[in-house]
Structure 1
Amino acid sequence: MTLAELIAQARTALDTAIATRTQEQDALVALRSDENLTEDAVRAQVSARDAADAEVTRRQQALDELLAEEAREAEIAALQARNTPAAHRAPAYDQVARVGAEERTYRPDQDRRGAAFERDVAAAFLGDYEARDRLSRHMAEERVERGDQLQRAAGTGAFAGLVVPQYLTDLYAPAAAAKRPFADAIRRHDLPAQGMTVNLSRITTSSSVDNQSAENAAVAEQDMDDTLLTFSVQTAAGQQTLSRQAVERGAGVEAIVLDDLFRRYATNLDSKLLNQAATGLSAVATAVAYTDATPTVAELYPKVLEGLSGVEAALLDLASGDNLAVMHSRRWYWMQNAMGTTWPLISQPGIAAQLSGTNLGTTYGSGVRGTLPNGTPVIVDNNIATNLGAGTNEDEIYLVDRNECHLWEDPSAPMYIRAEQAKAANLGILMVVYGYYAYTHSRLPHARKIGGTGLITPTFTGV
Structure 2
Amino acid sequence: MFEKLLADLRAKRAAAASKIDALRAEGGVLATRDALSAEEQERSMSIVTELGEARSELAGFDAQIAQVEAERDADAEQQRAAEQRKPVNPAPAARVASEPNPVYRKGDTEVSYFRDLYGATTGAQDAIRRLADSQVRAASSAAGSGGEFAPPLWLVEDFVEIARAGRVTADLMQPDTLPEGVASVNLPKATGNTTPAVTQTQNTTITEGSFTSTSVSSGIAEISGKQTVPIALLRQSGVPLDRVILNDLARAYAAVLDGQVIAGSAANGQLRGLITAGTTVTYTTTQPTQASTSTTNSFYSKVLGAQAAMNGTRFLPADTLLMHPNRWLWVLNGYDTAGRPLIPPTANGQNTPGITGGPTAEGYAGTWAGLPVYVDPNIPTNLGAATNQDVAFVLRRDDLWLWESDMETASFDATKAEENAILYRVLGFAAFIPHRHQASVQVISGTGLVAPTF
TM-score bucket (shorter structure):
0.5 to 0.7
CA distance in 2 between partners of 1:245 and 1:275 (Å): 40
CA distance in 1 between partners of 2:204 and 2:348 (Å): 54
Choose which of 378, 383, 395 in structure 2 pairs with 1:400. 395
- Counterpart of 1:443 in structure 2 is 436
Structure 2 residue 329 is the aligned partner of structure 1 residue 333: yes
CA distance in 1 between partners of 2:326 and 2:224 (Å): 29
8 Å contact kept, 2:389–2:449: yes
Deviation at 1:178, TM superposition (A): 6.8
TM-score, normalised to structure 1's length?
0.58
- Counterpart of 1:18 in structure 2 is 81
- Counterpart of 1:307 in structure 2 is 306
Structure 2 residue 268 is the aligned partner of structure 1 residue 205: no
8 Å contact kept, 1:247–1:254: no
CA distance in 1 between partners of 2:387 and 2:170 (Å): 25
Structure 2 residue 361 is the aligned partner of structure 1 residue 361: no
CA distance in 2 between partners of 1:243 and 1:289 (Å): 51
CA distance in 2 between partners of 1:11 and 1:327 (Å): 35
1:86-142 Cα shifts (integer Å, max 9, x gaps): xxxxxxxxxxxxxxxxxxxxxxxxxxxxxxxxxxxxxxxxxxxxxxxxxxxxxxxxx
Choose which of 419, 425, 432 in structure 2 pairs with 1:432. 425
Structure 2 residue 434 is the aligned partner of structure 1 residue 371: no
Deviation at 1:213, TM superposition (A): 3.2
Structure 1: state its 5+ residue gaps. 1-6, 28-65, 68-175, 344-349
SS in 2 for 1:236: strand
8 Å contact kept, 2:226–2:426: yes
Structure 2 residue 173 is the aligned partner of structure 1 residue 186: yes
Deviation at 1:451, TM superposition (A): 1.1
8 Å contact kept, 1:177–1:264: no
RMSD: 3.3
Whichever residue aligns with residue 458 of structure 1, its letter is P
- Counterpart of 1:276 in structure 2 is 264
8 Å contact kept, 2:320–2:371: yes
The structure-2 alpha-carbon separation of the partners of 1:185 and 1:352, relative to structure 1 and needing over 3 Å to count, comes to: farther
1:339-393 Cα shifts (integer Å, max 9, x gaps): 11599xxxxxx8954323111226444x422111x32011101111101112111
SS in 2 for 1:368: strand
Structure 2 residue 286 is the aligned partner of structure 1 residue 286: no
Whichever residue aligns with residue 184 of structure 1, its letter is D
Structure 2 residue 403 is the aligned partner of structure 1 residue 416: no
The structure-2 alpha-carbon separation of the partners of 1:243 and 1:408, relative to structure 1 and needing over 3 Å to count, comes to: same
SS in 2 for 1:297: coil
Deviation at 1:281, TM superposition (A): 0.6
CA distance in 2 between partners of 1:18 and 1:426 (Å): 40
SS in 2 for 1:227: strand
Deviation at 1:418, TM superposition (A): 2.8
CA distance in 2 between partners of 1:291 and 1:371 (Å): 23
Deviation at 1:422, TM superposition (A): 6.3
Whichever residue aligns with residue 19 of structure 1, its letter is A
The structure-2 alpha-carbon separation of the partners of 1:273 and 1:425, relative to structure 1 and needing over 3 Å to count, comes to: same
CA distance in 1 between partners of 2:308 and 2:351 (Å): 23
Q: Percent identity?
A: 30
CA distance in 1 between partners of 2:301 and 2:288 (Å): 12
